[in-house]
Amino acid sequence: MTTTISREQWGSRFGYLMAVVGAMVGAGNIWRMPYVTGENGGGAFLIAYFLLLYLIAVPGLMGETSLGRHTRQGLIGTFRKLYGNSRLVGLGLVILIFNIVLMSYYSSIVGWSIYYAFHAVTGTFTQTNFDTAALWQAFSGNTALNVGMHSVAMLLVTSILLLGIKGGIERLAKWMMPILTIALIAIAIRGVTLPGAMAGLEFSFSPNWAYLTRGETWLAALGQALFSTGLGWGIALTYGSYLGRNDDIPLGGGIFTAIGNTSFGLLAIFAVFPIVFAFGISPSSGAELAFVALANAFGSMTGGYLWALLFFMGFFFANLTTAIAITEVGVTTYREERNTSRTKAVLTICGIIWLLGIPSAMNADILGYLDFVVGNWGLPLATFIIMIAIGWKFDAHRLRVLSLNRGADLYVPRIWELVVRYQIPAIMLGIMAYFLYTNLGQTPWKTVSGLALLTLMIPLCMWIMNRRHDTPQVATSTGDQSS
Amino acid sequence: MSLSAIIVMLASIVALWGVAGYALVVSMRHEERKLSLLHSQGDFEPFSPRAFRDLEHWLTQHPDSEHAPEIREWQGVQRQSLQHNPQRFYDWSNADDDTREAA
């Protein structure tokens, strides 16, 4: 049985907090949240969102981080500590595969942001009569360039992860997250001072209370609260496993992570929609908003070079810190399972992700399909598996008493156990069932094939882990622990 | 901008940036205090009075559990720290007598 191998710890509290919030702040905060907020009743959506954030994301992240800190293991090692050498350890492998698949196509998005950051540096958007739509079309249609940017993104992720937890991830996050904050604040200040900008804030914040009675509003808020905070993907568990034994979890790993992450979404509302409305652009989300509409608006603004540079560099930083966190889940697990060096683990996992990511980089339909399967069922299933492991297998009561409230800056009461045991798993099952119901009629082939893939993957992973246990793995045990 | 939009905007700023900023500052200050205690006396008590009471309660409920030794180990760490260290990380002034006695 694998036990704890010698492992690093975060070098500072600030470093950990920046790394974990950086892990959660990604493309979705910047190019999705402003639009989703405006489209779902503005202030009404924000109220639903805050409520779900505190009811689901905060307690869930506390549990996941706490479990990681307690086991001091990656995904599979944690599941092995919980389930022993049984086939159920395969559930850890299932979540690991979701992470790797997620990163295989997220790497393309990181590649896009590198490409646009490069153009911002070279001043492309401020050229006279520059057509940003044509640039996006040309880039999207250039397969070699997309594969190249995906490769550059993976090279960057690899080089940072090679430097380790403290020297790579933490050092990077300590610089990038404050720069991202300053960049978004600066753009927001510029944005709200533009003529007509107030309409953007009105669109985002004006409360339409009728939306609170609509199921779609709550579902959109739930989706944003879950996917934006990365709950249940193994990231909080992996980052938590590098915490000291008396480090706080509830305030830093729970509240700050979830609320801090959403604060970036709010900052994006201030930074994006005033500009969108000031330039009379139709509100939208995704690549079209960032790479066509905003790039065009920056080109028309006074000092556009600076604003484009700040926005696209910030966007790149947000995506990079997330990509690093998703990849680290695989690196930590591989390193422990194979009892190998970090260098070998980083090169292996990044190599696998790079290879798997090539189809997504070549064809946007493949990226869309993977996002459809992973987003609709993979990630809710991963969250369900982790919450069941915390709430029932480990026992939420024992985790709260033994780990969550140890060294805590904030006391977590017993109600947390009910949330982790019943509420979050029930919501996850509900969300998967809803996605199945809504997608089956609209995209039957994608839905059935995606579900078939997932259904086959679970027993396959269980079989692999069961088979692997026939050949015991040996690892050294250490226990350097400090606050 | 309408008044309702302004109210929602300000409330969002307080609920998000306010809470996140407060959490960051408190978390950093507590960490400084922990580091200072580690530096001056080597360690500090890992559980607050309420958390320690939960720990004691768990042991009373599950004395023969396979996990009881691990919980007892932490109970020992807590007691030893409270006995040997002059300075506390948590505020024990409001702890009830039972908890203080158990510690």
Of A46, A202, A400, the CB nearest to B12: A46
Mean pLDDT of A166-182: 93
Q: How far apart are CA A51 and CA A218, in angstroms?
A: 10
Q: Which residue of B has its CA nearest to A50?
A: B15
Contact B38/A at CB under 8 A? yes
Most confident by average pLDDT, A201-205, A272-276, A343-347, A425-429: A343-347
At A55, the amino acid letter reads L
Q: Which residue of A has its CA nearest to B51?
A: A405
Query: Cβ atoms within 10 A of the Cβ of A85, count?
Result: 15
A274-317 tens-digit pLDDT: 888 888 877 766 777 788 888 888 888 888 899 899 999 999 99
A2-43 tens-digit pLDDT: 444 457 899 999 999 999 999 999 888 888 888 788 788 888
Q: How far apart are CA A38 and CA A269, in angstroms?
A: 9
Which residues neighbour A189 within 8 Å (Cβ) at sequence distance 6 or greater?
none
pLDDT at residue A167 is higher than 50: yes
Q: Which of A248, A405, A412 to mutate to test the interface with B (most CBs of B within 10 A)?
A: A405
Query: Cβ atoms within 10 A of the Cβ of A199, count?
Result: 16
Q: Which residue of A has its CA nearest to B38?
A: A483
Mean pLDDT of A382-406: 95
CA B74 centroid distance within chain = 14
Q: Where are the domains of chain A?
A: 13-468
Q: Do B55 and A402 touch (CB under 8 A)?
A: yes
Which residues neighbour B2 within 8 Å (Cβ) at sequence distance 6 or greater?
A202, A206
Q: Do A248 and B31 touch (CB under 8 A)?
A: yes
Residue B82 — pLDDT band, cuts 50, 70, 90? very high
Nearest CA to A398 among B90, B16, B57, B44?
A: B57
Of B9, B46, B50, the CB nearest to A205: B9
CA distance B24 to chain A (A): 7
Encoded tokens for A23 = 């892990």
Contact present, A169 and A19 (Cβ < 8 Å): yes
**Angle, vertex CA A400, rays to CA A394 and CA A404, nearest 5:** 110
Q: Which residue of A has its CA nearest to B23?
A: A256
Task: Count how many Cα atoms sit within 13 Å of the Cα of residue A280 in the half-sphere of its side chain.
Answer: 1
DSSP code of residue A124: G
Contact present, A10 and A19 (Cβ < 8 Å): yes
Q: Determine the length of chain A.
A: 483
Mean pLDDT of A162-171: 94
Contact present, A68 and A394 (Cβ < 8 Å): no
Instruction: Please state which of the ranges A65-74, A148-157, A413-422, B87-96 shows the lowest mean pLDDT.
Output: B87-96
Contact B13/A at CB under 8 A? yes
Nearest CA to A77 among A389, A347, A457, A400?
A: A389
> Which listed CATH number (3.40.50.1860, 1.10.357.10, 3.30.1180.20, 1.20.1740.10) goes with A13-468?
1.20.1740.10
Mean pLDDT of A322-351: 96
Mean pLDDT of A318-330: 96
pLDDT at A89: 94
User: Which residues of B are less than 8 Å from A406 in CB distance?
Assistant: 46-47, 51, 74
Average model confidence (pLDDT) across chain A: 89
pLDDT at A279: 83
Contact present, A55 and A431 (Cβ < 8 Å): no
Contact B93/A at CB under 8 A? no
pLDDT at A300: 82
Residue A474 — pLDDT band, cuts 50, 70, 90? very low
Task: Count how many Cα atoms sit within 13 Å of the Cα of residue A286 in the half-sphere of its side chain.
Answer: 4
Q: Do A198 and B1 touch (CB under 8 A)?
A: yes
pLDDT at A4: 45
In this prediction the pTM is: 0.91
**Partners of residue A414 on adjacent β-strands:** none
Contact present, A226 and A379 (Cβ < 8 Å): yes
Q: Which residue of B has its CA nearest to A51?
A: B15
Q: How far apart are CA A441 and CA A457, in angstroms?
A: 24
pLDDT at residue A482 is higher than 80: no
Q: What is the percent of chain A where pLDDT is above 90?
A: 55
Q: Do A246 and B46 touch (CB under 8 A)?
A: yes
Q: How far apart are CA B28 and CA B26, in angstroms?
A: 5
Residue B97 — pLDDT band, cuts 50, 70, 90? low
Mean pLDDT of B28-51: 93
- Pick left, alpha or beta for residue A84 (phi over 0 → left; psi -120 to 50 → alpha; otherwise beta): left
Q: Do A255 and B23 touch (CB under 8 A)?
A: yes
Q: Where are the domains of chain B?
A: 1-42, 46-103
Residue A476 — pLDDT band, cuts 50, 70, 90? very low
**Residue pairs between chains A and B whose CB atoms are closer than 8 Å:** 113
Mean pLDDT of A448-464: 91
Mean pLDDT of A420-449: 89
DSSP code of residue B47: B
CA distance B64 to chain A (A): 14
Instruction: Please state which of the ranges A50-64, A210-224, A339-353 shows the lowest mean pLDDT.
Output: A210-224
User: Which residues of B are less than 8 Å from A178 in CB distance?
Assistant: none
pLDDT at A222: 85
